[in-house]
Chain A
Amino acid sequence: MHLTRESIDVAALVAEVRPSDGAVCIFVGVVRNEGDGGETVAIEYEAYEEMAEMELAHVVASVSQEWPEARVRIVHRIGRLEVGEPSVAVVATAPHRETAFTACRLAIEWVKEHAPIWKKEIRPDGSGEWVEPKTRSILSEPRTPLSDTLFNPKWRQEEEDLP
């Protein structure tokens, strides 16, 4: 299961490290007080849960296929989260840091681009606004091998151009 309504326990995910792992790379996304549409006091996350579980499992399997020595865990929270609370955690472990960093980065970008999950920013007055990101193409470039795409200069440029 990759979706949860409970607080994300990052330490528990890190504790799953295997004896062969020499590196653990952790990405944690947290709710911030300035959203796409202005001041934000909370975010309500919603998912097409059955499909999101399949998509997140697909991401995990795809990363393993690309880097057999890496293992990725993804947990995404749904429901209402206050500022400062973790909304998503990606923990990638591998024998060495290069693979762990790369696998972690790929996994979070993939989740953000494809998982059927939505967020509504809650304003101080209690009103809400669904976030609709502009189309992003980070993972739509040719990506063989994936690591080349992940670290090529053009890709970094696009990343800097993101809102």
Chain B
Amino acid sequence: MKVRILYFASFRDAAGKAAEERELPEGTRVIDLWETLAREIPALSRYQKMPVAAVNRLSTVGYHALEDGDEVAYLPPVAGG
């Protein structure tokens, strides 16, 4: 299955891109993808725990199983206002 990953703010700087498409094994969960990304992108591994994650623009939890076509985003600590 294929998902679209979005990167924002400091995560975008760390990843060097705003978005990517990625092929993942069936059954991949939100936390599994985060662990993969944190291994690939050293700047992300400074987070002890998975940041707030959103699938298809709704916040979700680590055991959420991803599906083909999902839009996934891991959110740096927010700082609006």
Are these two chains actual partners, yes or no?
Answer: yes
Tell me which of A29, A108, A130, A135 contacts B76 (CB under 8 A). Answer: A130
Identify the A interface with B (CB < 8 A).
29, 45-48, 50-52, 54, 76, 87-88, 108, 111-120, 130-133, 135
| B6 with A48: CB separation less than 8 A | yes
A130 near B81 with CB under 8 A, answer: no
Give A92 to B80 CA distance when docked, in angstroms.
19
Number of interface residues of B (CB under 8 A): 16
Check B57 for interface membership: any CB of A closer than 8 A: yes
Please give me the 9 A-B residue pairs with the lowest Cβ-Cβ distance, nearest first.
A117-B80, A118-B9, A112-B81, A130-B10, A51-B57, A131-B79, A132-B77, A115-B80, A119-B79
Which of B1-48 touch A at CB < 8 Å? 6, 8-10, 13
A118 neighbours in B (Cβ, 8 Å): 8-10, 76, 78-80
Is the Cβ of A116 less than 8 Å from the Cβ of B13? no
User: Secondary structure at chain A's binding surface: helix, strand, loop or mixed?
Assistant: mixed
* Cα–Cα distance between A111 and B81 once the two chains are bound (Å): 7
Residue in A46, A48, A87, A118 with the greatest tally of chain B CB atoms within 10 Å: A118
| Known pairs A48-B73, A130-B9, A130-B10; A108 contacts B54 (CB<8 A) | no
How far, in angstroms, from A120 to B8 measured CA to CA in the complex?
12
Question: B75 within 8 Å of A by Cβ?
Answer: yes
Residues of B within 8 A of A47 (CB): 8, 80
Q: Are B80 and A48 in contact (CB under 8 A)?
A: no
